[in-house]
Amino acid sequence: MKTRQELYGNIESFWDVLDGEVYALAEAMPVSQKTISELRTAAREAYLIFEKVIPILWAMDDAALMELGFPKSALPFLRLQTMRPLSIISRFDFIVTKEKISVMEWNADTPTFIKEAFEVNDQIAAQVGLAPINEGQAGQLAASVRRAVEAAQHRTRPVPHIVFTSHGDNIEDRWTTEYLQQFVEGATYCPLDELEIRAEDGLYDQDGKRIDILYRQTFPIEMALLDRDEEGKELGVLLLQLVELGLLEIINPPSAFLMQAKSILALIWLLHETKHEYLTAEEHASIARYFLPTYLNPSSFLERHQAFVEKPIFGREGDTVTIHQGDGKVMYSNEQRSFAGQSAVYQEYQSLPTRRLQDGTDVSYMFGVFVLGGQPSAVGVRAGERITGNRSYFLPIGQQNH
């Protein structure tokens, strides 16, 4: 059994330990090629369902969008169609059991776990004698990032100023962002707190240079909308206005934010449950195969005395997620409650599979499958408690060598 230093010591700019706590496990889990293939098929089919549904959202009036949990300040921005595909880098989270593969959610706008899956996973797998899962996917990631920037350039100055941003003091966010930045020649980095917004003029970096393309992989729009400066100006709203005015391009595009809301899962389930003719027979079959019943209120589960999960519409990392018994009583709740004021969705409870680690600890785990420009890509596993939160582990995976 190799030590942590032997496994991770030579991997540059990686956070195998975060804030003094172990993040990346010093072991790997074998996964069959069949499971990996089925996961990528599930991600492709689930993505196509979201792609089919987004025109409905673009056509909705403001009241309907607000009913789905979108903040009023974001409404003008939601219908912007700046580029296809819907999202450049996104991640589906799946529960995999012997019976089925279930979509938990789609992190369409600001998924993390990128360097772990695309770069680190296979390096660790090889060191413990497992075959690679994501061979060649890092090259696909680089190509996707470059294609997105090139697409955005068509609406900017001939030689655009391209800036990647994140919270500068968050190692995970910063190193993830810098990992993506390396794929774009001439791109620079500017921490979020050093960006300057000039209303109806532009966004400027720490050197006072106007930014044409902002790559904000780890900075959510819904968080930006909460930002205020010393004078009380709504910085997120001003930022989105620059996008509306064509003074700034952002990646992921606005459509990714629109699809990130977990309420879209409730819309998808409504279309399926009512056998809506907008969906083809094949699309209904895909939803039945991969999606879990999801609603904007818990009454359907309470009537059936069926366990369910309550999730904030724009929550992340398991924060404020609660598992309820069929009578509504709390079965398990994440101790972090940052999103307690948000509207929620209610999804059928499906327990996560578990694995015993080498130290004897039992962990629950889930699969993340990245989608790059509509195509399924790298696969990775996060493990932790029954609600996979921001204290979860990175559990490397690989194929068993025969």
**Looking at the domain assignment, is residue 302 inside a domain?**
yes
Count up the domains in the chain and report the number. 1
Please report, in angstroms and rounded to a whole number, the separation of the first and last CA atoms in the chain.
20
SS3 percent helix, strand, coil of the chain, rounded to 5, is 35, 25, 40
**Looking at the domain assignment, is residue 311 inside a domain?**
yes
pLDDT of residue 237: 85
**Looking at the domain assignment, is residue 339 inside a domain?**
yes
pLDDT of residue 387: 60
Q: Tally the C-alpha atoms within 13 A of residue 293's C-alpha that lie toward its C-beta.
A: 13
Tens of pLDDT, residues 277-332: 999 999 999 999 999 999 999 999 999 999 999 998 886 666 768 999 999 898 88
Cβ atoms of residues 65 and 78 within 8 Å: yes
**Looking at the domain assignment, is residue 345 inside a domain?**
yes
**Looking at the domain assignment, is residue 142 inside a domain?**
no
Strands 162-164 and 213-215: parallel
**Looking at the domain assignment, is residue 52 inside a domain?**
no
Domain enclosing residue 341, as ranges: 294-349
Mean pLDDT for each consecutive 10-residue tract of the chain (402 residues)? 91 94 95 97 98 95 94 86 85 95 95 97 96 97 96 88 95 96 97 92 97 91 71 78 92 90 96 98 98 97 95 75 90 70 89 94 96 96 75 91 60
Helices (H), 84-185: 114-115, 121-127, 137-153, 171-181
**Looking at the domain assignment, is residue 319 inside a domain?**
yes
**Looking at the domain assignment, is residue 24 inside a domain?**
no
Enumerate helices (H) and strands (E) in the chain, giving the number of each: 14, 23
Tokens found for residue 148: 């997105």
pLDDT of residue 389: 56
Which region holds residue 204: left if phi is over 0, alpha if psi is between -120 and 50, else beta? Answer: beta
pTM here?
0.94
